[in-house]
Amino acid sequence: MEVLERAGELPGILDRLRAGGHRVGFVPTMGALHDGHASLIERAAEECDHVSVCVYVNPLQFGPGEDYATYPRDLAADLVVAEKAGADLVVAPEVEEMAPAEACTVVRVTELGEILEGRARPGHLDGVATVVTKLLCLAGRCRAYFGEKDFQQLVVVRRLVADLSLPVEVVGCPTVRAVDGVALSSRNAALSGEEREAAPVLYRALRAGAASIVAGERDPAEVVELIGAVVEAEPLVELDYAAVVDPETLASPETLAGALRLLVAARVGGTRLVDNLGVRG
Ligand code: AMP
């Protein structure tokens, strides 16, 4: 497996591979790789001839007071996970290359970037969109793999690829969970033992919401209230928001029918966790 420090080397390497007929897969991550990331790399390795993984903790997507400084970083461990999952190349660029001080261009996501996570974390999705656009431009024609775990991010990335005509096929991959239902996340490492025991309430709340829809509930407000009530019954967890949305537009439906996505965000101690679940009304 090849390891690069400069993302600027990607186009030359990947262009040569494409010229040789190779299908290129690309998996952008912020490192601290776990089985969720590995599932993206494995899927890419199944579907492509070459898989590049990016490990880059993107400062643009952290707000003031968020956990940029303390976000877990362990490139040596990441290389082991990436190689085992089938990566051919890992690029771990520096902030100086990805976001140089003189940079003055950003990608701004309008409506889709201002709701849900965008409202809770102003500028977050613009930060994601700016770095993902740059990385996808460097990767060039490829299939790019993103997790449903960060559902709004996946929708935003699909939208930006379409809006900016990038030659990229976005592949959404299912959320990998621990046995107790907690979605794997690099941030789970920041939970205390007690907080980790409380964390499954997010998935439990989503499942309760989905079950009520399957049982015939058609009022989104009732489902949102139910999800909130389940989360708030857990004293260590503070609800940020619960929502039921259209999975393509993230719009709030008037009545619950067809494909839907339930979303939840909550604070568990000092750690903010998000989760989501698909259901049909
Ligand atoms: P991150 O390193 O958290 O920015 O995540 C990098 C990519 O891995 C994103 O596309 C995430 O949605 C995806 N991802 C993170 N956690 C999981 C998980 N538990 N299951 C599937 N994909 C995940």
Find residue 43's DSSP bridge partners: none
Q: Is the CB of 61 under 6 A from ligand 1?
A: no
Give yes or no: 50 in active site.
Answer: no
Domain boundaries, the chain: 2-173, 186-275
- How far apart CA 79 and CA 95 sit, in angstroms, is 19
Predicted pLDDT of residue 263: 98
Neighbours of 189 (CB within 10 A): 12
Q: One digit per residue, pLDDT tens: the chain, 281 residues? A: 999 999 999 999 999 999 999 999 999 999 999 999 999 999 999 999 999 999 999 999 999 999 999 999 999 999 999 999 999 999 999 999 999 999 999 999 999 999 999 999 999 999 999 999 999 999 999 999 999 999 999 999 999 999 999 999 999 999 999 999 999 999 999 999 999 999 999 999 999 999 999 999 999 999 999 999 999 999 999 999 999 999 999 999 999 999 999 999 999 999 999 999 999 99
Predicted pLDDT of residue 13: 98
Q: Is the pTM of this model over 0.85?
A: yes
- Give the CATH number of domain 186-275: 3.30.1300.10
2-173 and 186-275, same CATH topology = no
- How far apart CA 91 and CA 206 sit, in angstroms, is 35
Predicted pLDDT of residue 86: 98
pLDDT tens-digit series, residues 111-168: 999 999 999 999 999 999 999 999 999 999 999 999 999 999 999 999 999 999 999 9
Q: Whose CA is nearest to atom 10 of ligand 1?
A: 146
- How far apart CA 106 and CA 131 sit, in angstroms, is 9
Predicted pLDDT of residue 36: 98
Phi-psi region of 44 (alpha: psi -120 to 50; beta: other; left: phi over 0): alpha
Residues 6+ apart with CB under 8 A from 97: 6, 7, 8
Predicted pLDDT of residue 67: 93
Give the number of the atom of ligand 1 that is nearest the alpha carbon of residue 175: 20
Q: Whose CA is nearest to atom 3 of ligand 1?
A: 30
Predicted pLDDT of residue 17: 98
Per the listing, tokens 């029918």 go with 257
Domain 2-173 has CATH 3.40.50.620: yes
Q: Is the CB of 71 under 6 A from ligand 1?
A: no
Q: Whose CA is nearest to atom 7 of ligand 1?
A: 29
Predicted pLDDT of residue 146: 98
